[in-house]
Amino acid sequence: MKKVLALLLGLLLFLGSPLHVPGEENQFEDELYAASACLLDADSGRVLYGKAEEEALAMASTTKIMTCILALENTADPAGTVLTASREAASQPEVRLGVHAGQQFSMQDLLYALMLESYNDTAVMIAEGTAGSVEAFAELMNRKAEEIGCRDTHFVTPNGLDGSDAGGEHHTTAADLALMLRYCIRQSPKAEQFLEITGTSSYSFWDRELKNVYDCVNHNALLSMMEGTLSGKTGFTSKAGYCYVGAVQQGDRCLIVSLLACGWPDHRDYKWSDARKLLEYGFENYEYRDVFDRNFRGREIPVADGRYGDFPGEGSAFTTAEFGIPEEERSLRLLLRADEQVEIRYDLPETLEAPVSAGEEIGNVRYSLKGEELAVYPLYASSGVEKKDYFWCLRQLWKWYCGRQ
């Protein structure tokens, strides 16, 4: 009966009122339960909405998306890799698979247990099997976070249990957490395997001795609540509260939502309400537009001391700034709200100094939105211009003189 009531409460929250967005700036912080939230465009990595998205907070088991992707990237054959439970792994607190020291499992099976049931002991087994120790694996996690552009994230544990070391407390931000999932589903060479694991609704496996069978059920309720859900991970500790990160694909748009400190017991379903509000807002208000400036046909730029013609003082030298992209390939599709206007700025010099080589980069065009640079395209000289120096003038005068004789 308790499970039925909890499910009904979750559905009521999920089917609650749509997100109210006053004005153009979407200031609806008071309508979200989460202390920190981020809505990210999975393709460009642009933050579409944020609420305290740069605030450092505990992240609980959402940590495990990084554990999973690093294990996949550093294991050539997860199905054929056997991991043995250490005493440290066996001593991990709930939620746990219940391994005992010396027990063996396939790495692939443990990855499903990690992402579907969020078992803490499997996270330690995976970390030790990948890097040799939890500490060495945490170094891999922090290195990867820096590589993908996380700005305020520090990993101490592979399972998200609260901890600290010389580098600080285990934490991230909503913006960084969304970036991590973007890497997992879009940029990692193991993205396909990650999506296969995290999109699975249930999974069963045996230990290597074939003595025990284990059944796992995916706790990402968004898989059944929202069309197009690709992946996601829940989390909870008494410090972090309820957390969530998930990705949804609808048509040509893929959005990622991340939530930190989204309620404490007995409010475990707040995260589904917040996720729905943010994702529905994104899909209802953002569409792709091609903002590439096709009206630009090149710009002539004078070249000082440039050679023009065959006689000193004859005409003015110039070249033309143009794109190095074929016209049929010129496109810049961005996910934008109807009221958002992209600024286009051409950075080109008034004049150039000879010599100028054909194909030389002489400027660029910058696309930005509200001060945030979105794309930069170089512009190149269409033709070369030689320098009209003293010796060239003498040679031309001599040719002229000889031609008169």
The residues annotated as belonging to the active site are 61, 64, 118
Contacts of 355 (CB under 8 A, 6+ apart): 306, 384, 385, 386, 387
Alpha-carbon distance of 384 to 255, in angstroms, equals 46
Distant-in-sequence, close-in-space partners of 260: CB < 8 Å, separation ≥ 6: 34, 35, 36, 37, 55, 57, 58, 59, 172, 173, 174, 177, 240, 241, 243
E strands, 55-187, where?
82-84, 104-106, 164-165, 168-169
Exposed / middle / buried, residue 394 (Cβ in 10 Å: 0-12, 13-18, 19+) = exposed
By CB neighbour count within 10 A (0-12 exposed, 13-18 middle, 19+ buried), where does 244 fall? buried
How far apart CA 126 and CA 146 sit, in angstroms, is 21
Helix (H, G, I), strand (E, B) or coil at 164: strand
H helix intervals, 21-133: 64-73, 87-90, 107-112, 120-131
Four-residue CA torsion sign, 170, 172, 177, 183: negative
In 88-212, beta strands by DSSP E: 104-106, 164-165, 168-169, 202-206
Ligand-binding site membership of 233 (annotated): yes
Annotate 259-285 with b (16+ C-beta within 10 A) or e (fewer): bbbbbeeeebbbbbbbbbbbbebbbeb
32 token code pair: 């979200």
- On whether the CB atoms of residues 257 and 275 are closer than 8 A, the answer is yes
Nearest Cα neighbor of 194 from 245, 135, 269 is 245
Tokens of 30: 């008071």
Q: Binding site for substrate: which residues? A: 233
Q: Binding site: which residues? A: 233
